[in-house]
Amino acid sequence: MPDARVRTRFAPSPTGALHFGSVRTALFAWLTARHAGGDIIVRIEDTDQERYIPGTEALILETLSWLGLDWNEGPEVGGPHDPYIQSLRIAIYREHANTLVAGGNAYWCTCTPARLAAMRDAQRAQSKPTRYDRRCLARQAEVAQERANGMAAVVRLLMPEGVTEWDDLVRGHVSFNNSDIDDQILLKSDGFPTYHLAVVVDDHLMEVSHVIRSDEWIPSTPKHLALYAAFGWDAPSFAHVPAVLGPDHQKLSKRRGARNVLEYGELGYLPSAIVNAIALLGWSSGDEQEVFTPEELCERFTLDRVNSAAAIFDPKRLDDLNGIHIRRMSTDELVEGLEFHLPGTSKETRRQLIPLLRERMVTLGDATRLCAPLLGEITLDADVEFPPKKVDQATAVAMIDACMAAIEAGGLEDQPALLEQLRAVGESRGVKARDAFRVLYVAVLGTAAGLPVIEAMAFLGKEKSLQRLREARARLG
């Protein structure tokens, strides 16, 4: 029975393109909503003007769309809580900050950066935690006067006493002593909200039921819960998902040069394989299955199967999954998908190449390299050993001569028979077929490996194949 009340959100800051770690957060929020038949909201959190990188919102939305992670409300699609871009909602946050001040849950503070720095230095010197000392809380009338005189001021949350705790859907029970938490700035002196105020106000107004985000935000959650309580609002459920580490066991981050997910698309990784690989970063189905379509993931995914330990991104696993997802593509899908990687080819040409390629691609981009000898000319590079290793000169000559004779006699018509015939040539001379065939690979494709050589010759046609064999034969003397 779908639970229509599930509303999740993905709330990226436009500070760079999405990498695997940030897409993982988006994917888990998307899967949670889709699994429950609920909604997902995309909201752009762009109130930190210093970290803003123009143009990255568009890149983020393009990445989500390319991966097939659609959204019910947000930029481009709109929705009942428009606008979904925080910089367009500043008046809402100010109004809410004023409500908190009026209710005694927040206060204005005019302490200068110099005073705050001196205060922290003194606290550090006494080995105390660095926290705002609430100097302004006790002098609100004076602060009001200072503000009227044009002094810069911020609004701070009055963190209540006691303990803040919640049952995290991934972490389990989490608890903080409020005395360990600073009086968080909610509204900055430029009138912009901090993340903490904006995220709580928006999650509430946008009726978010599940906040799914990276576990780096756990220390912020008690501040958010204090805000929900101060406003008199019910808090949503929280699921803090663990970090994604690179193969070097360091956290994936934009700063550490984690690759933009769209670049994987250019290399020929499939959105379905990326979604599959990212889902497995911290989630497992509970059985042996590892290969999933996005539809299967929507059906199977639940947050209670998300591991709370950090997940490690393994590029090899992505490659394996990508190969599997490629082999599951229909010929029509491959004809379409290979257009970018085999530029200038007709649909018909691609259709002919697919049986040669399908089992041999890790990425669609591999088609470019594999098909180059068939779509253009080859150069027999001096650094390619010829005759190849483990093959004597006479056997190489015999292979080429037999191949040319067979082609002249119409051998390309019956490829399995030609294969048998040529296999026999090597074996009769005591050379393993695998080694003997390398002679033909180098002759026809210019490399000792690649597409299956008999099918490749059939694609090239009789004349072109004979010409390449003749040239190679000449090199053998």
Catalytic positions, written as ranges: 254
CB of 34 or CB of 223, closer to ligand GLU: 223
- Quote the least distance from Cβ 46 to ligand GLU, whole Å: 9
- Quote the least distance from Cβ 309 to ligand GLU, whole Å: 20
Rg, C-alpha atoms of the chain = 32
> Where does this chain touch ligand GLU (CB under 6 A) — which range of 9-17, 174-182, 402-410, 452-460?
9-17
Q: Residue 13 interacts with ligand GLU (CB under 6 A)?
A: yes
Q: How many helices (H) and strands (E) does the chain have?
A: 19, 11
Distance CA 384, CA 78 (A): 59
Q: Residue 39 in contact with residue 7, Cβ under 8 Å?
A: yes
CB of 240 or CB of 468, closer to ligand GLU: 240
Kindly state the tokens that stand for 30: 């998307």
Question: In the range 344-383, which residues lie near ligand GLU by CB under 6 A?
Answer: none
Q: How far does CA 448 lie from the centroid of its chain?
A: 35
| CA-based nearest residue to 306, from 316, 297, 314 | 297
Kindly state the tokens that stand for 367: 């088609």
CB of 199 or CB of 436, closer to ligand GLU: 199
- Length of the chain, please? 477
Q: Residue 12 interacts with ligand GLU (CB under 6 A)?
A: yes
- Quote the least distance from Cβ 184 to ligand GLU, whole Å: 14
CB of 239 or CB of 274, closer to ligand GLU: 239
Close Cβ partners of 474 (under 8 Å, ≥ 6 residues apart): none
Q: Residue 61 interacts with ligand GLU (CB under 6 A)?
A: no
Distance CA 151, CA 6 (A): 44
Size of the site for ligand GLU (CB under 6 A): 7
Binder among 26, 143, 197, 199 for ligand GLU (CB under 6 A): 199
- Quote the least distance from Cβ 88 to ligand GLU, whole Å: 15
- Name the residue with tokens 């990687």: 341
Q: Residue 119 in contact with residue 133, Cβ under 8 Å?
A: yes
> Where does this chain touch ligand GLU (CB under 6 A) — which range of 7-15, 92-100, 285-293, 390-398?
7-15
Determine which helix (DSSP H) or strand (DSSP E) holds 253, and give its type and residue range.
none
Lay out the site mask for ligand GLU across 207-236 (x = CB under 6 A, - = otherwise): ------x---x-------------------
CB of 11 or CB of 326, closer to ligand GLU: 11
Q: Residue 42 interacts with ligand GLU (CB under 6 A)?
A: no
Kindly state the tokens that stand for 293: 């379509």
> Where does this chain touch ligand GLU (CB under 6 A) — which range of 5-13, 326-334, 415-423, 466-474?
5-13
Which of helix, strand or coil describes residue 474? helix
> Where does this chain touch ligand GLU (CB under 6 A) — which range of 6-14, 72-80, 359-367, 431-439?
6-14
- Quote the least distance from Cβ 306 to ligand GLU, whole Å: 16
Distance CA 257, CA 313 (A): 14
Which of helix, strand or coil describes residue 78? strand
Lay out the site mask for ligand GLU across 154-193 (x = CB under 6 A, - = otherwise): ----------------------------------------
- Quote the least distance from Cβ 13 to ligand GLU, whole Å: 4
Q: Which residue is nearest to ligand GLU (CB)?
A: 213
CB of 234 or CB of 288, closer to ligand GLU: 234
Q: How many CB atoms lie within 10 A of CB 466?
A: 17
Distance CA 272, CA 293 (A): 6
- Name the residue with tokens 């100097």: 135
Close Cβ partners of 81 (under 8 Å, ≥ 6 residues apart): 41, 73, 205, 206, 207
Question: In the range 240-269, which residues lie near ligand GLU by CB under 6 A?
Answer: none
Kindly state the tokens that stand for 4: 């229509």
> Where does this chain touch ligand GLU (CB under 6 A) — which range of 8-16, 31-39, 128-136, 161-169?
8-16
Eight-class DSSP state of 218? G
Binder among 7, 8, 11, 184 for ligand GLU (CB under 6 A): 11
Distance CA 392, CA 397 (A): 9
| CA-based nearest residue to 264, from 274, 255, 277 | 274
- Quote the least distance from Cβ 138 to ligand GLU, whole Å: 32
Distance CA 143, CA 136 (A): 7
Q: Residue 196 interacts with ligand GLU (CB under 6 A)?
A: no
CB of 64 or CB of 407, closer to ligand GLU: 64
Residues that bind ligand GLU (CB under 6 A): 11-13, 45, 199, 213, 217
